[in-house]
């Protein structure tokens, strides 16, 4: 059964996609698709009567007010209040789900608070350390239910910031294994509609080379089922350690058991292994950087710079030639020509 948006007229196969779409006829406050959506068997409507809708609105407004108060406390230095802020965010989103309004109520909560809750978690973690964020990760386990907790995008955002900052300022071995396991679990358990959560998990690539957690093995395990997450995760990995990343790219592109394909109009389907090469598109430019985690300029904060090693470029070029993925490329192709 299709579900139509009363604002823009667009039709969607599921209520989740209807609720989270970027509607031009409503104030959405951000780009399309919010993470943490309910699965398709959960109705976005809490009931059919006006009393139910007005009650849901009261619930949502009440939890939003609580969320504002908790976030203000965090801003004032009460880092412990961040746990209550995340709980209030989850509650406000849950209350918004009960309103039968095509997802407008959900978007009205999600987009204005996504950045604020992410920032609050990051600020509190910088003040208190991983233990605080680890407690939040444990409380909102992405594997504990059939659907991700609604607050997952903001939590994964803070975890991604922590992983990147730790990798750059300390050492990969100092990244808590629990942080990497969390981002991997988000990617594994996210549904298609959980786009924001899936994107936040791309920072998982910064854990490449960890002595106690094999990022490459995990990417290999989900490459055939989750190629659209694995490829941008590999892109992040190049900025963490280009030598370990090119090792991983060679391993995955040569692995013929990764046998999925992407359909193309008037052309042969593209093998997933060819799509993996998209991860190197921006490595020789200064105008294309991974954009996750959202609301976090890690290049500026960490004064980060990157230069692709000539030996790494040569290995990428040799890999492309070896696998025959250069047949559609110009003779003078660059890494940008590998972009999809």
pLDDT single digits (tens) 52-110: 344 445 454 557 788 999 999 999 999 989 999 999 999 999 988 877 666 788 999 99
pLDDT-derived band at 223 (thresholds 50, 70, 90) equals very high
pLDDT mean over 236-248: 97
Domain membership of residue 225 (yes or no) is no
3 state SS for the chain:
CCEECCCCCCEECCHHHHHHCCCCCCCCCCCCCCCCCCCCCCCCCCCCCHHHHHHHHHHHHHHHHHHHHHHHHHHCCCCCHHHHHHHHHHHHHHHHHCCCCCCHHHHHHHHHHHHHHHHHHHHHHHHHCHHHHHHHHHHCCCCCCCCCCCCHHHHHHHHHHHHHHHHHHCCHHHCCHHHHHHHHHHHHHCCCCCHHHHHHHHHHHHHCCCCCCCHHHHHHHHCCCCHHHHHHHHHHHHHHCHHHHHHHHHHHHHCCCCCCEEEECCEEEEEHHHHHHHHHCCCCCCCCCCCCCCCCCHHHHCCCCCCCCHHHHHHHHHHHHHCCCCCCCCCCCCHHHHCC
Q: What is the pLDDT of residue 259?
A: 86
Question: Same structural domain for residues 13 and 128?
Answer: yes
Q: How many domains does the chain have?
A: 2
Domain membership of residue 78 (yes or no) is yes
Domain membership of residue 257 (yes or no) is yes
Question: Same structural domain for residues 195 and 301?
Answer: no
pLDDT-derived band at 328 (thresholds 50, 70, 90) equals confident
Q: What is the pLDDT of residue 205?
A: 97
pLDDT-derived band at 186 (thresholds 50, 70, 90) equals very high
Question: Same structural domain for residues 55 and 168?
Answer: yes
Question: Same structural domain for residues 283 and 194?
Answer: no
Question: Same structural domain for residues 197 and 258?
Answer: no
Encode pLDDT of 133-164 as tens digits: 999 999 999 998 888 999 999 999 999 999 99
Question: Same structural domain for residues 48 and 134?
Answer: yes
Question: Same structural domain for residues 123 and 204?
Answer: yes
Q: What is the pLDDT of residue 257?
A: 92
Question: Same structural domain for residues 188 and 270?
Answer: no
Question: Same structural domain for residues 200 and 243?
Answer: no
Question: Same structural domain for residues 73 and 185?
Answer: yes
Question: Same structural domain for residues 140 and 108?
Answer: yes
Question: Same structural domain for residues 203 and 279?
Answer: no
Domain membership of residue 25 (yes or no) is yes
Give the domain range for residue 137.
1-213
């Amino acid at each position: 059964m299709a579900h139509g948006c009363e604002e823009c007229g667009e039709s969607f196969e599921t209520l989740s996609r209807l609720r989270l779409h970027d509607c031009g006829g409503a104030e959405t406050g951000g780009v399309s698709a919010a993470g943490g959506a309910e699965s398709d068997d959960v109705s976005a409507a809490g009931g059919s009567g006006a009393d139910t809708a007005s009650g849901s609105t009261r619930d949502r407004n009440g939890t939003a007010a609580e969320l504002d108060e908790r976030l203000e406390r965090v801003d004032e230095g009460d880092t412990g209040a961040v746990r209550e802020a995340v709980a209030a965010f989850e509650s406000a989103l849950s209350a918004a789900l009960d309103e039968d309004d095509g997802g407008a109520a959900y978007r009205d909560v999600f987009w204005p608070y996504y950045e604020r809750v992410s920032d609050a978690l990051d600020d509190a973690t910088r003040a208190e350390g991983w233990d605080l964020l680890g407690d939040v990760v444990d409380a909102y386990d992405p594997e504990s239910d059939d659907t991700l907790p609604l607050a997952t995008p903001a939590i994964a955002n803070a975890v991604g910031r922590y992983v990147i900052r730790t990798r750059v300022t300390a050492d990969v071995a100092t990244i808590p294994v629990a942080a990497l396991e969390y981002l991997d679990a988000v990617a594994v358990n996210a549904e298609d509609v959980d786009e924001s959560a899936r994107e936040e998990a791309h920072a998982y690539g910064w854990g490449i080379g960890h002595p106690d957690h094999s990022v490459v093995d995990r990417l290999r395990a989900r490459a055939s089922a989750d190629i659209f997450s694995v490829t941008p995760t590999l892109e992040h990995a190049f900025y963490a350690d280009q030598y370990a990343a090119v090792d991983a790219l060679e391993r995955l592109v040569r692995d013929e058991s990764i046998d999925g394909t992407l359909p193309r109009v008037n052309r042969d389907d593209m093998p997933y292994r060819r799509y993996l090469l998209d991860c190197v598109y921006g490595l020789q430019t200064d105008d294309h950087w991974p954009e996750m985690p959202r609301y976090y300029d890690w290049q500026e904060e960490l004064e980060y710079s990157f230069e692709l090693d000539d030996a790494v470029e040569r290995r990428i070029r040799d890999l492309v030639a070896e696998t025959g993925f250069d047949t559609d490329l110009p003779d003078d192709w660059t890494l940008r020509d590998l972009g999809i």
